[in-house]
């Protein structure tokens, strides 16, 4: 009798957890659709609709909604343009590792929008975004290392990130890669290639989506 009771209790717990997991999955799917609806509203210029979707979610701490609301404030979409307020939402979103917010913070510091112009902080946020798979941030790192902008100049680092972006077929990456390589020795290029292979495993492979066949492959 005791064994049957224990089994029934166990079965009840399993069913309850299963229902909870299903409910959470449905809520996540609904939230994803809501965020997509808000993003589409921004694209079509329906800013009131987008604001109605993003603002309450941003207040509740949703990182994507915080990023989207930051973009609306940055561009003055349905709201008065306010770079300082935009920055505050990007910071909140970036603290939750939203890669788009990380990249945007780099741009804000690089342009001096809503914050004091600071290339070191721009580099800091671009590096975070780059290591989280953001291709435009990866391009910015290559340029920053090449120019010594916000970081000590390094052709090896610049070339490594140029390989990363070129392998992903980012616009301008091939030209950038050749420009850097022309200023390097063969030994420096070999060092950069070794570094690029490590960075590829860290900053690209974990974030690749879709079928393996269609994914970009590392190319020296």
The pLDDT value given to residue 26 = 46
Looking at the chain, the number of H-run helices and the number of E-run strands are 10, 0
Give helix 135-147 / helix 99-111 axis angle, nearest 10°: 40
Six token digits for residue 64: 């994507």
- pLDDT, tens only, 110-136: 999 999 999 999 999 999 999 999 999
- Identify the DSSP state of 77: S
- pLDDT, tens only, 26-45: 457 899 999 999 999 999 99
The whole-angstrom separation of Cα 192 and Cα 198 is 10
The whole-angstrom separation of Cα 209 and Cα 195 is 23
**Per-domain boundaries in the chain:** 118-220
Closest of 162, 152, 165 to residue 183, by C-alpha: 162
pTM score: 0.85
């Amino acid at each position: 009798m005791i064994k049957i009771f224990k089994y029934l209790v166990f079965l009840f717990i399993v069913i309850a957890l299963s229902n909870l997991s299903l409910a959470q999955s449905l809520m996540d799917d609904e939230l994803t659709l809501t965020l997509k609806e808000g993003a589409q509203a921004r694209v079509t210029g329906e800013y009131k609709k987008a604001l109605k979707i993003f603002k309450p979610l941003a207040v509740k701490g949703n990182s994507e909604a915080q990023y989207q609301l930051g973009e609306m404030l940055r561009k003055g979409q349905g709201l008065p343009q306010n770079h300082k307020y935009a920055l505050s939402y990007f910071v909140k979103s970036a603290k939750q590792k939203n890669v788009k917010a990380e990249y945007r913070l780099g741009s804000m510091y690089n342009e001096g929008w809503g914050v004091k112009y600071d290339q070191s902080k721009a580099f800091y946020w671009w590096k975070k975004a780059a290591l989280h798979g953001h291709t435009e941030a990866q391009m910015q790192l290559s340029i920053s290392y090449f120019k010594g902008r916000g970081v000590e100049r390094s052709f090896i680092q610049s070339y490594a990130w140029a390989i990363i972006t070129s392998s992903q077929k980012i616009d301008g990456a091939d030209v950038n890669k050749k420009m850097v390589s022309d200023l390097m020795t063969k030994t420096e290029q070999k060092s950069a290639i070794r570094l690029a292979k490590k960075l590829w495993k860290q900053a690209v492979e974990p974030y690749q989506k879709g079928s393996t066949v269609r994914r970009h492959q590392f190319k020296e």
